[in-house]
Homo-oligomer: A and B are copies of this chain.
């Protein structure tokens, strides 16, 4: 049972950029459509893997409107809408709610360090109240390696007490299974998605809802198969297979590597473009990654 409309494999979709560094909305739309065709259950656009924090609120609103107009069902979208600035978070979250997105994935404000749970609660609370949409569904985004601003068990408890039905889940990108397990145990009614497919099977067995994973951009079908078959005898072997692909890729800078992979399989060099402060994958790294991918069994990933 899920509280929201999401379960399964969600992909924090990469954002392609043109040579002039502007978002490439046509390639973006094509990529989202390909992901859905490959079996992605949801599209967590504007996540870490999407270089979302390297884009302005305006750029994100324009991309969101474009892909919905282009046929992506809003119910399948979980855009990232948490910004450093309260007013930016309100604006982007309100827009996602107006567009009837299935949910939003919300980072805490991540500039100040050592802020209190009371301060983070106040931030989320202001966003919820200012958006004022009873249909809004928020998934909290716990990614301490980037934010150094954790979503603690205490904070989750505070938010559930005040906003049950609105705050309904968590993406856990801590990379720390003990944290995921603690959230699942403490809040069994919460929709928890590990931030990597490495924890997909383990998460499902402990009551998780699936995963939201960067490498879903290139291996969506493989990861989806583990979700489909997690209760079958093949589950562990399938999980081992997607682990191999993940581990091959995550030894490299994640976003540049994923973009380079798509550029390769799609015969589309422009896909490798990133926005600063990220840099393209150096070609010597690509020459070592490519055979590792083949060995791990990823041969045919391609955006449409």
Contact = CB atoms under 8 A, between A and B. Distances in A.
Nearest to A130: B21
Contact of A86 (B21, B126, B145): B21
Interface in A79-105: 84-88, 91
A16 to B, nearest CB: 15
Contacts of A275: 86
B109 A277 contact: yes
Contacts of A279: 115-116, 118-119, 122
Interface string A107-135: 01111110110111011001000000000
A84 B54 contact: yes
A186 B113 CA distance: 30
Copies of the chain in the assembly? 2
A56 B91 contact: yes
Contact of A123 (B57, B113, B122, B276): B276
Contacts of A87: 55-56, 58-59
A215 to B, nearest CB: 17
Nearest to A145: B113
A114 to B, nearest CB: 8
Contact of A119 (B108, B112, B277): B277
Contacts of A91: 56
Contacts of A110: 110-111
Given A54-B86, A56-B85, A85-B53, A276 B122 contact: yes
A2 interface: no
A57 B85 CA distance: 9
Interface in A140-159: 145-149
Q: Which 8 A-B pairs have the closest CB atoms?
A: A53-B111, A119-B277, A123-B276, A122-B276, A115-B277, A53-B84, A56-B87, A119-B279
9 contacts: A53-B84, A54-B112, A56-B85, A111-B147, A113-B145, A113-B146, A119-B277, A120-B277, A148-B148
